[in-house]
Structure 1
C-alpha cells in the first residue's frame, strides 16, 4: 500500500464527509478509496472511521490521526513546493471556483498570460453562482464576490467593484431618463437573481451625503446570469444595474450608457479564499498571485 496515497485519501474522506465525494475530488473510483482506507486501518490496527449507509464519522483515534496526517502532508507539500520553486517550475492541477461573470469576463480572457508564465500548471476552473463547499469538493481556492460566509477559511481581499445603472442609447431616447432612483419604479427594468436568496436583487444606491436607498422593482424580465443580464441591457429591454467590470466594454463601445452617476452604489469586495489546514502549494500560490495582479490591472476591480 502506498502510505502517502492512503493518508491523502483518508484526509479527503474526513473533509468531504463521504467516500463518494472524496473519490470525486481525487478522480479515482469509489472502490479505490475504500480499499485505501481499509488497508490503512488494517495496517494501523485501529478503526479510523465509522461508516453507515448515509454518512461517515471520525473515531477519536481517527480524529487524532487526521490532525497529525494533515501536518505531515503539509510538510511533504512544503518540501516538494520548495524544490519546484527553486527550479522555477510549479507543476500540477489547480482547482479554482469563481462566480460565472468573473470567470467568463475576467479570468478566462487573461488565462493565456498565465499559461505563458506557468506552462506546467493545469487550471480546472469551475464557474458558477452557487456557493461551493471548498473543503468537501476539494477546491484549492475560490473567488468570492460579496460577503464571505465561510468563517473558517483563509480570506484575502483582491478587488472591489461597484454596480453601474445603465441601458441602451435607443432605449434611453424612447424612455424618460430617471433623475432619481425612485423614478425607476415607473420605468421598465431588468432584474438579476441573487444566488444567495434566489430572488431578484434590489437596485442599491448611495448619494454623496451617505444616504442609502434600496429600490425593490417590478421587472419586465428577470435572469440569473450576468452575461444574459448585460445582453438584455444592450438589447434595450430596460434599465439594468450590473457589475462595473461586466459593462465596461459596452460603455466604452457606446452600446450601453450609464445614468444616475451621482448616486453611487456600495463597494462590493472580491476575495480569494482557501482552507486553513491545507498548505498553499507553489501551483496554488502562483495562481493566486497572478489573480491579484490581474485584478490590480483591471480598472473596474482594482483595490485602489
Structure 2
C-alpha cells in the first residue's frame, strides 16, 4: 500500500473510530489495516492511534497528522478532478440517510432515472429521522426536513414542504371543528411532538399572513417518532401537523380533516447535509445536484 492509500486508510480509521469499520468500508482485510498502520507509525516514528477495547482515538500527534492528511488528500482529489476527462462518469458507492416516508414516496421511485444517468454509482440507503454522525458512521450525506441545528456540516437547501394541521374525522365529530385560534384553545387537544434531541414538546404553529403564532394545547399523549405521531392522530387523540404530502391520502379519503386551512403551519425547509470538503467528491456532487432537481419537480 503506497503512502496516499495509507493516509486514506488512516483518515477512515479516525473518522469511523474503528479498525474493523475502516476495513469494511474500504473492503480491506483486517490484517492489512493493522499492518499498514504499524508501518505508518514506524515510518513517522510516533504513535498515531490509541486503541481501547471499544474505540480507537488519535494521539496528539495523530490529531495533527490527521489534519495534514485531510488537507493533502483534498488537494489530491482536486487535482484529479481538474484533470479528469469530462466524459468519465463518477463511480463508486455513496452512503446516504433519508427520511423514510419521503424516500418511499419520492426518492426511491425516481432512482431508476438516477442510475440510468450514472450507471457506475451505487447507493447504500438508510432511512430514519435519528441523529446521524456522518464522519463516525461513514455516511456521505443526509436529507433532513425542518430547521437544522448547528452541526459544523455543509448544508444546501433543496426545497420546502407545505404543511397542514389535521385531526381524524372521529376527533372532529367528538370535539367539533375550530373556526379560529380562540376556538382551538377552548376544548381541543394536540398530539404532542417531543423533539428527539431536546425531548421538549413543541407547540403547534400557525401562519396569520406573515406572522407566526404558536399555540400550546393540552395533550394526552406525547411522542417522538413520526409513525407514532401519525398513528395517534389517526386514532383521534388530537390535532397534529404534518407535511401536506404525508396526509394527502387521508384528507382525500375523509379519514383526516384539515384544521384551520386559512392559517396553515409554516413551510418546512428540506436540506441536504454533508461533511465540509475543500473539493466535493464528484459522486457526492452529482447526487446532491440530482436531489435538488428531483425536489424542484416534486414540490
TM-score by length of 2: 0.82
Q: Deviation of residue 284 (structure 1)?
A: 0.7
In structure 2, list runs of 5 or more residues that go unmatched: none
Taking the aligned partners of 2:39 and 2:16, their CA distance within structure 1 comes to 20
3-state DSSP of counterpart to 1:147: coil
Sort the Cα spacing of 1:294 and 1:93 in 2 relative to 1 into closer, same or farther, 3 A: same
Size of the aligned set, in residue pairs, is 298
Taking the aligned partners of 2:286 and 2:51, their CA distance within structure 1 comes to 38
Q: Contact 2:219 / 2:238 at 8 angstroms: preserved in 1?
A: no
Matches within 5 A, 1:213-232: 213-219=214-220, 221-227=221-227, 229-230=229-230
Q: Contact 1:101 / 1:227 at 8 angstroms: preserved in 2?
A: no
Residue of structure 2 equivalent to 1:98: 98
Residue of structure 2 equivalent to 1:281: 281
Q: 258-267 or 165-174, which moves further after superposition?
A: 165-174
Sort the Cα spacing of 1:191 and 1:60 in 2 relative to 1 into closer, same or farther, 3 A: closer
3-state DSSP of counterpart to 2:97: strand
Residue of structure 1 equivalent to 2:115: 115
Sort the Cα spacing of 1:224 and 1:27 in 2 relative to 1 into closer, same or farther, 3 A: farther
Q: Deviation of residue 171 (structure 1)?
A: 4.8
Residue of structure 2 equivalent to 1:48: 48
Q: Contact 1:70 / 1:277 at 8 angstroms: preserved in 2?
A: no
Q: Would you say 1:77 and 2:59 are equivalent positions?
A: no
Q: 13-22 or 151-160, which moves further after superposition?
A: 13-22
Taking the aligned partners of 1:180 and 1:31, their CA distance within structure 2 comes to 68
Taking the aligned partners of 2:80 and 2:62, their CA distance within structure 1 comes to 26
1:124-163 CA deviation, whole Å, 9 max, x = no partner? 1111211111111111112222232344222211222243
Taking the aligned partners of 2:204 and 2:195, their CA distance within structure 1 comes to 12
Q: Contact 1:70 / 1:278 at 8 angstroms: preserved in 2?
A: no
Q: CA RMSD in A?
A: 3.1
Q: Would you say 1:68 and 2:107 are equivalent positions?
A: no
1:197-239 CA deviation, whole Å, 9 max, x = no partner? 34554322232362512314313x5554434544554565543
Matches within 5 A, 1:1-304: 1-23=1-23, 25-26=25-26, 28=28, 31-53=31-53, 56-81=56-81, 86-169=86-169, 171-181=171-181, 183-184=183-184, 186-187=187-188, 189-198=190-199, 200-208=201-209, 210=211, 212-219=213-220, 221-227=221-227, 229-230=229-230, 233-234=233-234, 238-252=238-252, 254-277=254-277, 279-299=279-299
3-state DSSP of counterpart to 1:136: helix
Taking the aligned partners of 1:237 and 1:27, their CA distance within structure 2 comes to 49
Taking the aligned partners of 1:163 and 1:31, their CA distance within structure 2 comes to 52
